[in-house]
Amino acid sequence: MEPYFTQKELPVSERPYEKCERFGPEALSDAELLAVIIRSGTKKERAVDLAIRILNRPGQKKGLAALNYYSQKELRKIKGIGRVKAVQLCCVSELAKRMHAAAFETGKAFTTPQMITDAYMERLRHCRTEEILLLMLDTKGRKIADAVISRGTVNSAVLEPREVLTTALRYEAVFLVVLHNHPSGIPTPSEADIQVTRRLAAACEVVGILLRDHIVIGNHCYLSMRERGFLE
């Protein structure tokens, strides 16, 4: 049996904190970065070993991306993860999403579907159920605000034109972009998606607002209904 070393008994070069101070965070492995966040392991397991188990759970998504799919309840089922560590890990996942979104602050002009997708991919692609998000733009295509207008099931969410228009008018939006995710990772729209989008576009036109696009978010891919000709 290999000897067990606590974190403090490890050579300095192998301790995540000291390694980070000496070489920078980019020198740390995924497990070591995670170990720095959770700080401590158990009496029989180092923080790094616990991190490795979290990143390689059988039957689960692997690697750091898996943290985007765990709820606090699910994390606490892992031996060695209690209330505090579960909260820390969920907050790390949320912080990463917000850091990504911060690069696309209010006031930025969105001119292409790709720009919009870049801003919202990380926020939407990890959702386990479908969410419909409304992006509201001013006369120059700059972001005014965004809002989740519907949360659904694993394969559907309700897009209500009335809710969209009420929200858009409250923010005095001129252009709108609807985004929603497909938890399957495949962004192909259903016939129902296409028809409700066309009804929404017609409703927007009545009140002098333009529905610029409806973008379906998959896993690192997307589909623009405007680009595909579903919105004329």
Percent helix, strand, coil in the chain, to 5, is: 45, 15, 40
The one-letter code for the residue type at 15 is: R
CA atoms within 13 A on the CB side of 51: 20
217 bridge partner residues: 181, 222
User: What pLDDT does 11 receive?
Assistant: 43
**pLDDT for 103:** 67
Strand 143-151 versus strand 131-137 pairing type = antiparallel
pLDDT score at 96:
81
Q: 179, 158, 168: which is closest to 206 by C-alpha?
A: 168
Which is it for the CA torsion 75, 96, 33, 37, positive or negative?
negative
pTM (2 decimals)? 0.66
Res 177: pLDDT: 97
Per the rule left: phi > 0, alpha: psi between -120 and 50, beta: everything else, 24 is left
Give bridge partners of residue 180 from the DSSP assignment: 132, 216
DSSP state of 220: S
Per-residue pLDDT of the chain (232 residues; tens, 9 = 90+): 344 444 554 444 467 888 888 888 888 888 888 888 888 888 788 888 888 888 887 766 778 877 877 888 988 988 889 999 899 888 888 888 777 777 666 677 898 999 999 999 988 988 889 999 999 999 999 999 999 999 888 777 888 999 999 999 999 999 999 999 999 999 999 999 999 999 999 999 999 999 999 999 999 999 999 999 999 7
User: Can you list the positions of beta strands (E) in 45-193?
Assistant: 131-137, 143-151, 175-181
Q: What pLDDT is attached to residue 140? A: 93
One-letter amino acid for residue 85 of the chain: K
